[in-house]
Chain A
Amino acid sequence: EIVLTQSPTTIAASPGEKVTITCRASSSVSYMYWYQQKPGASPKPWIYDTSKLASGVPNRFSGSGSGTSYSLTINTMETEDAATYYCQQWSSTLTFGSGTKLEIK
């Protein structure tokens, strides 16, 4: 099973700040997927096929990476971006990262 390790676990950012969340895989994967989840809500599709934004996702978000290292970047943090972000892959079996909680500073 491929283990996804997200860092940091928690991060606080000020509005306007650039934020990067990293997801490292224990073995190489072809694509990475990202979800945003706010308290009491279902996860929302956020980024697919490593770098494509899901419908409705603001273009201040971007995704990149390859092999074992992937990232989600927010170019300029906004208050509405405060949430937990999960990465996900499906190689031999499907796994999620443990999540990164993004807070407003």
Chain B
Amino acid sequence: QIQLVQSGPELKKPGESVKISCKASGYTFTDYAMHWVKQAPGKGLKWMGWINTYTGKPTYADDFKGRFVFSLEASASTANLQISNLKNEDTATYFCARVRGRSFFDYWGQGVMVTVSS
């Protein structure tokens, strides 16, 4: 069955970096783009951007340009999100999600809680 399994929760200090992973299984990884979505505590969903899993080309939403990097380990069917120079406002759950068709997120990872606190 199709699964997106993300790495575990992270506790970081401001200024540090974090890398979270999203391992896909049950389908051909390079056939579907992978998106990233942020959800701050008690807040709604915010789209961060996506990565073309065939070419490796990332596209970032305006609010996520600069400190955020999407990458792949295609041989391991894994997409990664790295956030550098962490700020308190980066405290959130980060989801990876596969897109099907025009723009429908048909599978989601379980989410990774990143807490940034001094």
Q: What is the minimal beta-carbon distance from A53 to any residue of chain B, in angstroms? A: 12
A37 to B109 CA separation, bound complex (whole angstroms)? 13
Chain B 5-51 interface residues, beta-carbon cutoff 8 Å to A:
35, 37, 44-47
Chain B 69-118 interface residues, beta-carbon cutoff 8 Å to A:
95, 97, 100-111
The answer to whether B108 touches A86, judged by C-beta atoms less than 8 angstroms apart, is no
Judged by DSSP, the binding face of A is strand
The answer to whether B108 touches A94, judged by C-beta atoms less than 8 angstroms apart, is no
Q: What is the minimal beta-carbon distance from B44 to any residue of chain A, in angstroms? A: 5
A33 to B100 CA separation, bound complex (whole angstroms)? 12
Cross-chain contact of B108 among A43, A88, A95 (Cβ < 8 A):
A43
Q: What is the minimal beta-carbon distance from A74 to any residue of chain B, in angstroms? A: 20
Residue total for A at the interface (Cβ-Cβ under 8 A): 24
The answer to whether A35 touches B44, judged by C-beta atoms less than 8 angstroms apart, is no
Please encode chain A, from 79 to 93, with 1 for each CB lying within 8 Å of some chain B CB and 0 for all others.
000000010111001
Given contacts A30-B102, A99-B45, could you give 11 more A-B pairs where the C-beta distance is less than 8 Å?
A42-B110, A43-B37, A43-B97, A45-B108, A48-B104, A48-B106, A54-B106, A86-B45, A93-B62, A96-B46, A98-B44
14 contacts between A and B (CB under 8 A): A31-B103, A42-B110, A43-B45, A43-B97, A43-B105, A45-B107, A45-B108, A89-B103, A90-B103, A94-B47, A94-B103, A96-B44, A96-B46, A96-B47
